[in-house]
Amino acid sequence: PKPTATPPTVPTEPPTEPPEKEREEPESEAAAPKAVCFTEEAIVWKDESFFYVMPVSIKDGVFTYSRVIRFPIPMLGQSLDEVFGIFTDGCELVFSFTSVHEIPAELYKMPVYGGPMRRLTFTREVSETEPATSVTDQVFFTSEERYGPVQTDVMTRFGTDRRMVAQNCHTPAVSPDGTLVFCEGEVAPMAVLEAGEEFGIESLNTSIGIQGYDFEWRPDGEAVAYQDEGDYVSFAFGETDQPEQLYAASALAFRPGGGWAALVVENDLLVVMLDEFGLITGEPIRVTTPYPDSLEGAKPEWWSPERLSPNLDPMEATLQSLEPAATEAASPVCPNYEGFSVVDCLVSAGQNASF
């Protein structure tokens, strides 16, 4: 397809590094900068030095795209983690970055078309990577001490109210409504976490056939796709005990409004139309980009102002049927009643728990 849309205005001068003081102080909500936000749908990806934004349009079932806009990460250092998040309002990106002054990776954010970076985490002995944003503007991410365990943490988009979600679990994926989280566990290949007020573990399970990584929720909330030996497969909640093979791809991004997905296949970006079951219908559209090398290892995100209303009923039915996975050491049982903190139970026990 030929480019048919005019991309948004982009600053002609590269953004400059903000003063050290600005980057070292936590941000308050009142001080949040007014950024140039997405006004149309976009597929975004990154490499260690640049972000790439491709405005797209879907009208009457026809997909078109504009030229790819590239802008640099404006600090000295590197961003080796391809995983990043886009906040629901389409104004800011959140990603992991290692500056020349810091050895562990920290989380930063900046406007979607480039600009000053704002540091969100300030833990010099802990590496924060793999951020995932929710519709409630929370950021879930992997947190790992240099010589300690890995865990999933959560905080606001301003870097405040940070809490642990679960120990021995990493690479979180948030449901379309922001109420449930998948992460990759060490005890079990999949952990289902309740992202409620206490952020306690709902269950750890190995019996439903999910043994993979790179989880991606389908926008309707009724299935999850994940990597299994180089292929994406789909597990439909409450319908089948066997995952269904979908696509041979290294990365997958569903369109939040449904009906489409972006795939990375051998450093090519493909856009595909999906049927109601999440299967490809029609011929894939190969996107031409002047930066093909940037897609090596890329994990694209698809931002859209349109979002499906997710149905989590099948997921809840699946949760009710699960049995906690057995562990070598007995898991503590955490009471589940008002006023009791499941997180405190987990921390005091020093291991995963179920309730």
41 pLDDT more than 80: yes
Structure tokens at 275: 């049927």
Q: pLDDT above 70 covers what percent of the chain?
A: 71
Contact 299, 83 (CB under 8 A): yes
| Structure letter (DSSP) for residue 294 | G
| Bridge partner residues of 262 (DSSP) | 253, 271
Of 52, 350, 351, 78, nearest to 191 by C-alpha is 351
As a whole number, mean pLDDT of residues 125-144 equals 93
Cα-based distances in Å from 150 to 144, 171, 248: 4, 10, 29
Residue 314 scores a pLDDT above 90 = no
| Amino acid residing at 118 | R
* 105 vs 82: CA distance, rounded Å: 13
Give the number of other CB atoms < 10 A from CB of residue 146: 10
Most confident among 46-55, 240-249, 307-316 (mean pLDDT)? 46-55
Hey, what amino acid is at 114?
G
pLDDT above 90: residue 11: no
pLDDT digits (tens, 9 = 90+) for 255-311: 999 999 999 998 899 999 999 888 889 899 999 999 999 999 999 999 999 999 999
| Residue from 211, 192, 44, 23 nearest 121 by CA | 23
- How far apart (Å, rounded) are the C-alpha atoms in residues 170 and 162? 16
What is the spatial distance between Cα 78 and Cα 269, in angstroms, rounded to a whole number? 24
The three-class DSSP label of residue 45 is: strand
Handedness of CA 265, 71, 144, 135 (dihedral sign): negative
Mean pLDDT of 5-22: 42
Give me 300's structure tokens: 């694209």
The C-alpha atoms of residue 121 and residue 131 are separated, in whole angstroms, by 12
SS3 call for 43: strand
Alpha-carbon distances of 17 from 25, 36, 76, rounded to whole Å? 15, 18, 9
CA distances from 20 to 28, 30, 79, 140, 192 (A): 17, 20, 19, 26, 39
pLDDT at 179: 82
Q: Residue 192's pLDDT is what?
A: 67
Closest Cα to residue 325, out of 170, 191, 152? 191
- The two tokens of residue 332 are 């503590």
